[in-house]
């Protein structure tokens, strides 16, 4: 390729450089190698995105479960009848208290 460029420069014309078949093949190879690398990176990115999406779905499920449990705890005192007795508790000495 350098020979072609050097010859064109000597002649003073660089507008229409003719590439040899070998030069075109080298250029096609480098283009296809770049395309292949880009495609591999795209595949890796898609796999990473799928993993992140799965993790976020699991996290969302856990958050919904925690919120549901928190709502149940908050609603629990309001669901007891007004005339219900307080729960008995046993202290460290084994005595029952109200």
- Boundaries of every domain in the chain: 19-69
At residue 14 the predicted structure's pLDDT band, cuts being 50, 70 and 90, is very low
pTM of whole model > 0.75? no
In sequence order, the 6+-apart residues with CB closer than 8 A to the CB of 98 are: 85, 86, 88, 89
The secondary element (H helix, E strand) that includes residue 89 is strand 89-90
Alpha-carbon span 64 to 74, nearest angstrom: 15
Which pLDDT tens digit goes with each residue over 42-67?
999 999 999 999 999 999 999 999 99
Quote the Cα angle for 41-44-47, to 5°.
155
User: Parallel, antiparallel, or unpaired for β 89-90 and 96-97?
Assistant: antiparallel
């Amino acid at each position: 390729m350098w020979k072609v460029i050097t010859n064109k420069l000597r002649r003073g014309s660089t507008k229409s450089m003719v590439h040899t078949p070998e030069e075109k093949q080298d250029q096609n190879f480098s283009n296809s190698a770049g395309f292949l690398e880009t495609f591999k990176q795209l595949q890796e990115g898609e796999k990473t995105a799928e993993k992140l999406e799965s993790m976020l779905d699991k996290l969302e499920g856990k958050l919904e479960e925690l919120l549901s449990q928190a709502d149940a705890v908050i609603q629990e005192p309001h669901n007891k009848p007004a005339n219900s007795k307080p729960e008995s508790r046993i202290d460290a000495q084994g005595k029952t208290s109200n």
